[in-house]
Amino acid sequence: MTTVLTKIQTEKAGQFIGHGGAIFTLEPAHDAYLFYSGSSDNLVVEWNLKDQKQNKVVARLPAKALALKYIPDRNLLLVGQSLGGIHVIDLNKNEEIKLLQLHRQSIYDIQYLPEKECFWAVAGDGTLSVWSINDFSLITALKLCDKKIRSIDFNIVLKEAAIGCGDGSIRIFDFETFEEKKLLKGHVDDFSVNTVCYHPNGKYLLSGSRDAYLNIWDIENDCALIHHIPAHNYAIYSIVFSPDKKFFATGSRDKTIKIWNAENFELLLRIEHAKHEGHTHSVNKLLWSDFNNYLISTGDDKAIMVWKIA
């Protein structure tokens, strides 16, 4: 696989400073120019890409804010924290309306499935929980492994969910029956699969692990592993696609962001501190915004950076 780093360019379009601790998560808001962040300072903050300012503190939690999911049709924000709680914030009322306390360890990811009127959460206790968005009742809870579970993504066409697990596996579940359909092994055993992401074309599943490899799984060929790419020097924490679906980005503990061709998985650009005034610590989360096609990144250095990709 050839690597050409001259196909696209980037420049820093802005930077947000305000959190008092490492930032773990980013999430789009109700307007394209707004987004949320969650941090180890126990705060959830709304930011404005138009004037590049902090809009407001949305929530003050009793623990670190690790996972966020915005529910647009109800204007709710779900916040998963490091004590296992899921806070439901009503953004119309600007108040918390529910605290869901099933898990006893960190909530690492929350994903919304509007087709089934439910949301899924995964936690450090190795369990998956599924909740009704209508009355916040628990639909099911499943123990998947003895390690942390870090990530979820849905494939609506196939009616399935991919779940990245701490034992190095990816479990594929039928999201209607909650039955496990496949167990994918291609990352190093017991190296957590930190991020899973279905390709927008529906043909591939992408995964990134603590083993620093980017794996590409061929959905149309029984999820065969077709690319095993040594993408970073340390753990991969985030994979996001561009709004036009032509590119995707990976963020890593090695402090870099990499931009890839979504068609042939060719590496196009490496964003780093030395060349681009990028992050000085681990890159924990990426968000590729519809607003000006900005790529937003954040991590352990307490900074949120905005990148213009050209």
Kindly list the domain boundaries of the chain, sorted by start residue: 10-309
Among 89, 92, 127, residue whose Cα is nearest residue 106: 127
Fold of the 10-309 domain: Methylamine Dehydrogenase; Chain H (2.130.10)
Predicted pLDDT of residue 2: 40
What digits encode the pLDDT tens for the residues 184-208? 999 999 999 999 999 999 999 999 9
Output the DSSP codes for 121-167: EEETTSEEEEEETTT--EEEEEE--SS-EEEEEEETTTTEEEEEETT
For residue 108, give Cα distances in angstroms to 82, 111, 115, 122.
8, 10, 22, 6
What digits encode the pLDDT tens for the residues 77-117? 999 999 999 999 999 999 999 999 999 999 999 999 999 99
Q: Supply φ then ψ for residue 191, to 5 degrees.
A: -105, 115
272-300 average pLDDT score: 97
Is pLDDT above 50 for 5?
no
Is pLDDT above 60 for 162?
yes
Among 104, 81, 217, residue whose Cα is nearest residue 162: 217
pTM here? Answer: 0.96
Predicted pLDDT of residue 201: 95
234-241 average pLDDT score: 98
Rounded Cα–Cα distance for residues 49 and 14 (Å): 9
The pLDDT mean for the chain works out to: 96
Is pLDDT above 60 for 6?
no
Cα–chain center distance at 225: 22
